[in-house]
Amino acid sequence: MDLVALQNTLDNGAFAILLVTTLLYWAGVAFPKVPGLAVLSTAGLAIGNLCIAGLLGARWLEAGYFPISNLYESLFFLAWGLTTFALFAERMGESRLVGAVTAPVVMCIAAFATLTLPVGMQVSAPLVPALKSNWLMMHVSVMMLSYAALMVGSLLAIAFLVVSRGQPIHLKGSSVGTGGFREGRLNHTAAQTDPLPGGASFSSASGGTAVLTPVAAKEAPTLSIQRLTLAETLDNLSYRVIGLGFPLLTIGIISGAVWANEAWGAPWSWDPKETWALITWLVFAAYLHARITRGWQGRRPAMLATAGLGVVWVCYLGVNLLGKGLHSYGWFF
Amino acid sequence: MALSGSVRFWKQQVLPLLANLRLAIVLLLAIAVFSIAGTVIEQGQPLAFYQANYPEDPALFGFLSWTVIRTLGLNQVYQTWWFMGLLALFGSSLIACTFTRQLPALRAARGWKYYQRPSQFEKLACSSTLKAGSLGCLQAALEQRRYRVFAADHTLYARKGLMGRIGPIVVHVSLILILLGAIWGSLTGFMAQEFVPSGETFKVEHIVQAGPWSASHLPQHWSVKVNRFWIDYTPEGKIDQFYSDLSILNQQGEPVDRQTIHVNKPLSYQGVTLYQADWSVAAVQVTLNRSPVLQLPMAPLELEGGGRIWGTWVPTQPDLSTGVSVLARDLQGTVLVYDMTGKLVSTLRRGMSMTVEGVTLTLVDVVGSTGLQIKADPGIPLIYAGFGLLMLGVLMSYVSHSQVWALLDEGVIYIGGRTNRAQITFEQEFMSTLAELVGGLEQPMTQLSV
């Protein structure tokens, strides 16, 4: 089988599928009542994910090493990570907004890698000697997965900021347990209903409560679950996905430091990429701490996460513009 | 009195300030911002570079001139006293936070209580009442969801994911370990560089950087012999890899260890590590007519293009009045021979001869010298321990600590719960548990209420 031709089909295919998927997600948000859109858009994202996995697999076979050594390969690995974490978050939060904000970004990455990147930078090239190490696969793949998770989390924080415009905000989830308690006074009427949002794309697992309501509502005293609103769901999703990206980033940085120490005798040398990875780590550490700080409730943590999105991109691509070194993918202008 | 006064001042004023979360956030972001400055402004360049690129007038952004950069230390951000001070403050904040916040929070999480009054459930966002059902069914449902259940008369407590409460403490402790390891390493470690010709023995002497307590780690009682240094070249003539065959010699000069190192594969002996870092041409070995092999040292020559070339002078008359210059570019075994007028006379390969002014000059070999970086960093074990704990701690910190309470009061079951992180997942789990209880009522119960 011609692996190069297969790769060409798969990268163009991934782009086309992600384009359609993006439109499906947006249509689903605009017309939540249209049947089938939810299934189709999720299926599109999953197929895009598999296409990219196939592309990377073909590369691996062709080049003989794990394919994240040039910009083209790393962009597609990032796209694969983004779709994987988006599917994970969508499953966890049962919200189509996840796909609506992540699919366009993945589509843009695929478009950039396939259409804009010069062909000379798309072909696989042999590794430089300094990178011929088993640490490469471990270090780079974990770093890229952490970028992907942090990006999905930050995009969800942006969606949260948009959805929660003009609403009072109660953060959901933190290391001390922010948001586990009932907001406002409990009203002791039998007819209390779940404050389910009329939100378009929030399909809740309401089966459980539907069974419960007749039982619980018969006589006072009754209690019912104060359900998460759409904004609160997005907030907690964003927190959880960032909470997954943060350990990955930590492990990625540590593996890089151990590699550098074993190879050159210096775990940390403040090279720009290292420094920006540390900056990313610090910004998201600040985000995690902002959620448990009394004076930083409300929108501020989400704003920090939004700023974090920019920091991740600078760490991933911006550092290339500063110059050469082992961490550079090369650039084309 | 003065002592207890200062202790009180410390406990009541300094500790809460250090443990303040806003200070922690400000510190995290401040370290981030100054780190950014260090990646935008070129680090460790000579003064002339800053004078050329950051003129006084017009200053960049109206203030960033080379004098400002020099005064604030922005040309070496990561070594300045104020950056170190920020890191020290950060470390103190970590320690203070661990003792004043995290450990009490862990104690609170471990010390749970049964709920005894229905009103206690009202404060929980996830709480509900069931008209029928049993605590036994609830216990079974929770255990199936991997909760650890504690049950007493008419009341029940269940929890899972307590390690999610321990994780952040492990993270903080490990960060403190890493900072301590870095400090310990800078106080007790050293770094040296040696250029050693193939075949020679050396002791570590050219110390580039050493901490105040590093003396005991300097190798006093052993030396290193460079048995051979060589370079492998690719077919295109590019360098593939540098190799140094090294022997460690004890005080009697007997070899105790022997290894060949290359880039990415150092040698470690008694806490000191030797890294292959650089190379140079050390000498050329020639014979003149039937002389024994003469080893003439070669010196690096300044090149305008920035390349590297080494040269020496070989006399061809007994009174040293005439001779030829011999130049080498690398260790591939070829030298260029120039006469007194600067004209290229010949190119000699290893083992070849030529005749100059009646003298037969034979090139025996070009001798390389290996550039070794020699380091001891006694902080590394501490740093690695910190790394290991940090990875464990961040992974543990993803786990959500979930708790469920239940109370049977006048025929009504009150159920409530909360979790600290995964509130979406917990809500789903809570509702599925309730649904299971309600659905289970229609089937005969196998377990009676507690």
What type of residue is A237? L
Residue A204 pLDDT: 37
Cα–Cα separations (whole angstroms), residue B271 to A129, B214, B219, B267, B381:
27, 12, 9, 10, 11
**List of chain A residues whose C-beta atoms are within 8 Å of the C-beta of residue B421:** 173-175, 177, 239-240, 243
Cβ(B130)–Cβ(B118) below 8 Å: no
- What confidence category does residue B405 fall into, taking pLDDT thresholds of 50, 70 and 90? very high
User: Is A225 close to B168, i.e. CB distance below 8 A?
Assistant: no
H/E element, A251: helix A230-264
- List domains and CATH numbers for chain B: 2-101 (no CATH), 112-156+400-440 (3.30.160), 187-277+372-390 (no CATH), 281-366 (no CATH)
User: Is B129 close to A261, i.e. CB distance below 8 A?
Assistant: no
Answer left, alpha or beta for residue A5, where phi above 0 means left and psi between -120 and 50 means alpha: alpha
Residues A155 and A120 in one domain: no
Tell me the ipTM for this assembly: 0.85
Would residue A27 count as lying in a domain? yes
Q: Who's near A113: CB < 8 A, 6+ residues apart?
A: A11, A71, A72, A75, A76, A79, A122
- What confidence category does residue B116 fall into, taking pLDDT thresholds of 50, 70 and 90? very high
Would residue A65 count as lying in a domain? yes
Give the position of tokens 């009174």. Answer: B319
Q: Model's pTM, two decimal places?
A: 0.84
- What digits encode the pLDDT tens for the residues A125-162? 666 656 667 788 889 999 999 999 999 999 999 999 99
Interface with chain A: mutation pick from B39, B89, B112, B442, highest number of A CBs within 10 Å: B39
- What confidence category does residue A209 fall into, taking pLDDT thresholds of 50, 70 and 90? very low
Taking chain A, what is the end-to-end CA distance rounded to the nearest angstrom?
Answer: 35
Angle formed at CA B173 by CA B171 and CA B175, multiple of 5 degrees: 70
User: Is A172 close to B423, i.e. CB distance below 8 A?
Assistant: yes
Q: Evaluate if residue B375 carries a pLDDT over 50.
A: yes
Query: In chain B, whose CA is at the least distance from the CA of A256?
Result: B387
For chains A and B, count residue pairs whose Cβ atoms are closer than 8 Å. 194
Residues A92 and A238 in one domain: no
**List of chain B residues whose C-beta atoms are within 8 Å of the C-beta of residue A130:** 263-264
**List of chain B residues whose C-beta atoms are within 8 Å of the C-beta of residue A175:** 164, 168, 397, 420-421
User: Is B424 close to A228, i.e. CB distance below 8 A?
Assistant: yes
Q: Calculate mean pLDDT across residues B82-108.
A: 91
**List of chain A residues whose C-beta atoms are within 8 Å of the C-beta of residue B375:** 265
**List of chain B residues whose C-beta atoms are within 8 Å of the C-beta of residue A204:** none
Give the position of tokens 């120039």. Answer: B338
Q: Calculate mean pLDDT across residues A316-321.
A: 80
CA-based nearest distance B423→chain A, Å: 6
User: Is A263 close to B263, i.e. CB distance below 8 A?
Assistant: yes
- What digits encode the pLDDT tens for the residues B241-270? 889 999 999 999 899 999 999 877 889 998
Interface with chain B: mutation pick from A88, A133, A134, A175, highest number of B CBs within 10 Å: A175
Cβ(A113)–Cβ(A11) below 8 Å: yes
Query: In chain A, whose CA is at the least distance from the CA of B181?
Result: A267
- What digits encode the pLDDT tens for the residues A221-242? 678 888 888 999 999 999 999 9
Query: Residue B226's closest CA among B206, B270, B196, B266?
Result: B196
Residues A119 and A153 in one domain: no
Q: How many CA atoms lie less than 13 Å away from B226 in the CB half-sphere?
A: 27
User: Is A225 close to B126, i.e. CB distance below 8 A?
Assistant: yes
Would residue A214 count as lying in a domain? no
Domain boundary among A83, A109, A126: A126
- What confidence category does residue A294 fall into, taking pLDDT thresholds of 50, 70 and 90? confident
Would residue A215 count as lying in a domain? no
User: Is B35 close to A292, i.e. CB distance below 8 A?
Assistant: no
- What confidence category does residue A317 fall into, taking pLDDT thresholds of 50, 70 and 90? confident
Residues A110 and A253 in one domain: no
Residue A167 pLDDT: 83
Query: In chain B, whose CA is at the least distance from the CA of A286?
Result: B25
- Boundaries of domain holding A171: 130-179+223-333
User: Is B122 close to A182, i.e. CB distance below 8 A?
Assistant: yes
Residue A207 pLDDT: 34
Please give the full DSSP string across B229-283, using - where no structure is assigned: EEEEE-TTS-EEEEEEEEEEE-TTS-EEEEEEEETTB-EEETTEEEEEEEEEEEE
Would residue A190 count as lying in a domain? no
Residues A328 and A287 in one domain: yes
For helices A71-93 and B423-440, angle between their N-to-C axes, nearest 10 degrees: 40
Residues A105 and A157 in one domain: no
- Radius of gyration of chain A from its Cα atoms, rounded to whole angstroms: 22
What's the CATH number where A53 sits? 1.20.120
Please give the full DSSP string across A40-104, using - where no structure is assigned: HHHHHHHHHHHHHHHHHHHHHHHHSS-S-SSHHHHHHHHHHHHHHHHHHHHHHHTBTHHHHHHHH
Residues A313 and A250 in one domain: yes
User: Is B431 close to A225, i.e. CB distance below 8 A?
Assistant: yes
Cβ(B363)–Cβ(B352) below 8 Å: yes
C-alpha to C-alpha distance for A101 and A159, rounded to whole angstroms: 7
Q: Evaluate if residue B376 carries a pLDDT over 60.
A: yes
Domain boundary among A110, A126, A142: A126
Task: Classify residue B64 by its DSSP letter.
Answer: B
Residues A114 and A149 in one domain: no
Would residue A208 count as lying in a domain? no
- What confidence category does residue B447 fall into, taking pLDDT thresholds of 50, 70 and 90? very low
For helices A230-264 and A300-313, angle between their N-to-C axes, nearest 10 degrees: 40
Residues A150 and A114 in one domain: no
pLDDT over 70 percentage in chain A: 82
Q: How many CA atoms lie less than 13 Å away from B284 in the CB half-sphere?
A: 31
Residue A185 pLDDT: 54
Number of H helices, E strands in chain A: 11, 0
Residues A230 and A174 in one domain: yes
The number of domains in chain A is 2
pLDDT over 90 percentage in chain B: 46
Residues A22 and A136 in one domain: no
Q: Which of A130, A221, A286 sits opposite B25 (nearest CB)?
A: A286
C-alpha to C-alpha distance for B132 and B410, rounded to whole angstroms: 11
Would residue A192 count as lying in a domain? no
Give the position of tokens 């690129």. Answer: B53
Residues A239 and A302 in one domain: yes
User: Is B275 close to A292, i.e. CB distance below 8 A?
Assistant: no
Q: Calculate mean pLDDT across residues A49-69.
A: 87
List phi, psi (to 5°) of B349: -100, 165
C-alpha to C-alpha distance for B291 and B276, rounded to whole angstroms: 35
- What confidence category does residue A199 fall into, taking pLDDT thresholds of 50, 70 and 90? very low
Q: Provide the mean pLDDT of chain B.
A: 88
Would residue A250 count as lying in a domain? yes
H/E element, B427: helix B423-440
**List of chain A residues whose C-beta atoms are within 8 Å of the C-beta of residue B400:** 173
Query: In chain A, whose CA is at the least distance from the CA of B192?
Result: A265
What type of residue is B438? V
**List of chain A residues whose C-beta atoms are within 8 Å of the C-beta of residue B423:** 172-173, 179-180, 228, 232, 236
Q: Evaluate if residue A191 carries a pLDDT over 60.
A: no
Taking chain B, what is the end-to-end CA distance rounded to the nearest angstrom?
Answer: 58
User: Is A251 close to B394, i.e. CB distance below 8 A?
Assistant: yes
Q: Which of A228, A272, A295 sits opposite B427 (nearest CB)?
A: A228
**List of chain B residues whose C-beta atoms are within 8 Å of the C-beta of residue A197:** none
- What confidence category does residue B2 fall into, taking pLDDT thresholds of 50, 70 and 90? low
Query: Residue A76's closest CA among A5, A25, A12?
Result: A12
- Helix residue ranges per DSSP H, B302-348: none
